[in-house]
Amino acid sequence: MLQYSNPRQDVRITDWPYGSYRTTAHFFIECDAKKGERGVRTTVDPKTGRVSKPKTLTYAAQACIVDGDDGKTYILELTRSCTHLSVMQSNMQFQQEAIFPDDARYSGLRALLQQR
d(CA 41, CA 59): 14
pLDDT in tens, 37-56: 999 999 999 999 999 999 99
pTM value is 0.92
Structural domain that includes position 90: 4-115
pLDDT at 116: 76
Helix (H, G, I), strand (E, B) or coil at 2: coil
DSSP 8-state assignment for residue 70: T
Q: What is the pLDDT of residues 59-109, one digit of tens each?
A: 999 999 999 999 999 999 999 999 999 999 999 999 999 999 999 999 999
The mean pLDDT value for 21-32 works out to: 96
Using CA atoms in the order 77, 92, 11, 101, what is the torsion angle rounded to 10 degrees? 20
The domain total for the chain is: 1
Give the helix/strand (H/E) hosting 106.
helix 106-115
